[in-house]
Amino acid sequence: MIWRPLPLLALVLVAGCTDAGPPAPEKTVAACTGGQITFGTAVTGELLTGVTEMLDAEVKGMTLKDDYTELATRTAQVRAPAQVPAREVYQRLADTYAAEDRPLVDLGKVHHLDTSGSATFDGTGRFVSYESITTLDMPFSYTCGGTTSQGTVVSWLATELAGLLNCDEPEVGPSPAGQRAAVTDQVRELRCPDA
């Protein structure tokens, strides 16, 4: 038997026959609405989001420009499987906090601080302006259609916190507001040269 190479046209036809076409679209999982939501224990904290450079107020009444460096950002979201209706879960938690006069930011909001401004000082010293937010991580379970899923709501309180640290004032000892003290300790370590 003599083997002969196939003509080019035949090779093209054979190659074309192996094409399976476009890939099948991925299946999407529809959210199961109207289920039972059970929230766990909230984990809260204070997140330092921005600081200025150290501002040297040599005389009283100086107005200095605040140029903030953004240190952290955060997105309000629901981390859970696709069958969990994120908006429904988030809104239920937001309604609970709003009833306690502690409103949460809207779902999907990304925190970015205002990076500019100015401050006038009544005294003299070396000052650092800073901003922070009160974070909230709320675990939950969601039961719907005979399935229970676990997830976490990631958010923060809508009220932003701002502060002013005088590097020339001595560091205070521990206080009941431990999270707030931890933030000022961070600011001092970042910006006060002799901290």
pLDDT band for position 30 (cuts 50, 70, 90) = confident
In this structure, what DSSP letter does residue 104 have?
B
Q: Beta strands of the chain (E only): which ranges?
A: 36-39, 43-51, 55-57, 63-67, 69-70, 77-79, 116-120, 125-144, 147-156, 161-166
Q: What is the pTM of this model?
A: 0.77
Q: Say what the pLDDT of residue 177 is.
A: 54
pLDDT tens per residue across span 78-122: 999 999 999 999 999 999 999 998 999 999 999 988 777 787 878
pLDDT in tens, 55-78: 888 888 888 787 899 999 999 999
pLDDT at residue 174 is higher than 50: yes
Mean pLDDT for the chain overall: 83
